[in-house]
Structure 1
Amino acid sequence: LLRLTASVVQRVARQALATFRCVEEAGRGFPEQQSKLRALLNEVRAADLRLVEPRAGAPQPPYPGGPPPVTYMHICETDEFSMGVFLLKRGASIPLHDHPGMYGMLKVMYGKTRITCFDRLDLSPLSGTPTGPSGSLRRSVLRSTGEYTEHSGPCVLAPHRDNLHRIDAVDGPTAFLDILAPPYDPDDGRDCHYYKVVPGEAGAPQGSEVWLMDISQPHDFWCGSEPYPGPAVGL
């Protein structure tokens, strides 16, 4: 059983490597490889990563300044992709943020996760673009809002579709396996930026155009780290 469990995680990592190497090779074979990766992710469950959903009232590990609302378990990283697990406490959110020039897949391991995705209609602030109190405003479209559980397929993002998203824990803690390609790298133009929907446009229906404001990382959000308990992955 342990050998089978390890092979599921290892197979996902190897398929991710094959998939995102296709992007570097001008996209030859990418749709087929991406489809294989999605199918493999559908097989992964919390037990394969040795994740256990926390019980209400369970003791929390000590953190200076209090426990973070979100923690991350690093699994592996190459030049082509990174893979890890995000764990959100009850009521926690990962604020609206982007993935510049990146692809990604998110597969819920336990709990329920609400994901709200936007597309930017302007790829950079133009001369004359209005500004808010925090920064530039960018015209965007609300692409989708959906709730995901361990029985749902992966949420998929691409450089110009569903690239901005907000992630909320619904009705309790949640955890998801996260693959990003290529990894964040500020030195290569792939830094994480945060946004908020301009007041008055929150709650707009799907397909609506909205203004998003560039903001600093929200003060009530930070991400801690914890050890990954699952099978090792080698590439």
Structure 2
Amino acid sequence: MMPRDNMTSTVQKIARQALTTFRNPSLLGEHNKKFLENQSKLKSLMAEVRAADLRIVPRSIESAPSTSRVAPPVTYMHVYETDSFSMGVFLLKTGASIPLHDHPGMYGMLKVIYGKVRISCFDRLDKPRDGDSSVQFNPPLMPLQRSSLRPTVLKSVGEYTEESDPCVLSPQTDNIHQIDAVDGPTAFIDILAPPYDPDDGRDCHYYKILHAHSEAADKNNQAQEQGDLWLMEIPQPSEFWCGGEPYPGPKVSL
């Protein structure tokens, strides 16, 4: 039997609410009032979690491992996973980033437990704007590269600390983002629903943002618009990789 303190721990309560929120895929979506209520409850629980609840000791700049190629810039503590959601903790070293990436068909919630992160969120645009055929890139792109581009818009850039509310994403909004450590090491607890699963079409893709120039806009001295940003899928950046380390906190049982 699980110890009583584990059954009533903050992380256990979060996992239980995450299961309630995401276990029925047919009920997910912003049109479903019950889903929104459950998502709000989960967000409230996530807002209260602190490093001490997970028995994680914040790491200082001085004690952070070196940034040599031997030590990964980011490590992950696996907390719990079901078919409905995964939960874990990402730890970023000083100056580390999780590059621009997506979460296909997934909901997510991120809560900083120490340090500070900067999160830049992008949304794909469904249809190119009128005149997109005239956009130019420098350097010029090959036809195959152009055919795979998707117009995008920068939705937000925000900084989050342990005092901030969780950052929330859905399949449609803020789904593509980059996470940067700011002013030292940082860590955050992360929920994704459902988990990544390449066999089910939920693989992680990495992107580069390209800035396009419209010939018509240049002639009219118009300022560049957000729609002039484009996503180009790239391989996982060589400077980024994620290692693993044990999770020291209370166990989860559902």
Fold equivalence (TM over 0.5) = yes
Q: Does 1:222 align with 2:241?
A: yes
1:11-26 map, 5 Å: 11-25=13-27
Count of aligned pairs: 225
Among 158, 168, 173, which residue is 2:180 paired with? 168
CA contact (8 A) 1:6 1:231 kept: no
Measured after TM superposition, the shift of residue 195 of structure 1 is 0.3
Deviations 1:130-157 (A, max 9, x none): 9946942110110000000000000000
Q: State the secondary structure of the residue aligned to 2:23.
A: helix
Q: Which runs of 5+ in 2 are unaligned?
A: 214-222
Among 62, 65, 89, which residue is 2:93 paired with? 89
Measured after TM superposition, the shift of residue 3 of structure 1 is 2.5
Tell me the distance in 1 between the aligned counterparts of 2:127 and 2:204: 15
- AA in 1 matched with 2:195: P
Which residue in the other structure is 1:3 paired with? 5
Q: Compare 209-218 and 165-174 and name the one that shifted more.
A: 209-218
Deviations 1:182-216 (A, max 9, x none): 00000000000000111579xxx9x8221111100
Q: State the secondary structure of the residue aligned to 1:47.
A: helix
Residues 218 and 41 (structure 1 numbering): CA distance in 2 closer, same or farther, change over 3 Å? same
Among 57, 61, 78, which residue is 2:82 paired with? 78
Measured after TM superposition, the shift of residue 179 of structure 1 is 0.1
Tell me the distance in 2 between the aligned counterparts of 1:70 and 1:83: 16
Among 155, 164, 168, which residue is 1:143 paired with? 155
Among 100, 105, 124, which residue is 1:101 paired with? 105
Residues 218 and 132 (structure 1 numbering): CA distance in 2 closer, same or farther, change over 3 Å? farther
Tell me the distance in 2 between the aligned counterparts of 1:81 and 1:18: 10
Tell me the distance in 2 between the aligned counterparts of 1:24 and 1:228: 32
Which residue in the other structure is 2:170 paired with? 158
Q: State the secondary structure of the residue aligned to 1:84.
A: strand
Which stretches of structure 1, 4 residues or more, deviate above 2 A after TM superposition?
A: 2-6, 22-28, 55-61, 128-136
1:61-76 map, 5 Å: 65-76=69-80
**Under a length normalisation based on structure 1, what TM-score does the superposition of the two structures give?**
0.87
Tell me the distance in 2 between the aligned counterparts of 1:80 and 1:49: 22
Question: For the pair shown, which has the larger CA radius of gyration, 1 or 2?
Answer: 2
Which residue in the other structure is 2:216 paired with? none
Q: State the secondary structure of the residue aligned to 1:172.
A: coil
Measured after TM superposition, the shift of residue 23 of structure 1 is 3.4
CA contact (8 A) 1:5 1:48 kept: no
Which residue in the other structure is 2:217 paired with? none
CA contact (8 A) 1:6 1:232 kept: no
Tell me the distance in 2 between the aligned counterparts of 1:193 and 1:46: 29
Measured after TM superposition, the shift of residue 58 of structure 1 is 2.4
Q: State the secondary structure of the residue aligned to 2:199.
A: helix
Tell me the distance in 2 between the aligned counterparts of 1:59 and 1:149: 18
Residues 199 and 25 (structure 1 numbering): CA distance in 2 closer, same or farther, change over 3 Å? closer
- AA in 2 matched with 1:3: D
CA contact (8 A) 2:208 2:234 kept: yes
Which residue in the other structure is 1:46 paired with? 51
Percent identity of paired positions between Structure 1 and Structure 2:
64
Tell me the distance in 2 between the aligned counterparts of 1:73 and 1:112: 18
Tell me the distance in 1 between the aligned counterparts of 2:149 and 2:211: 12
Tell me the distance in 2 between the aligned counterparts of 1:59 and 1:12: 28
Measured after TM superposition, the shift of residue 57 of structure 1 is 3.1
Q: State the secondary structure of the residue aligned to 2:25.
A: helix
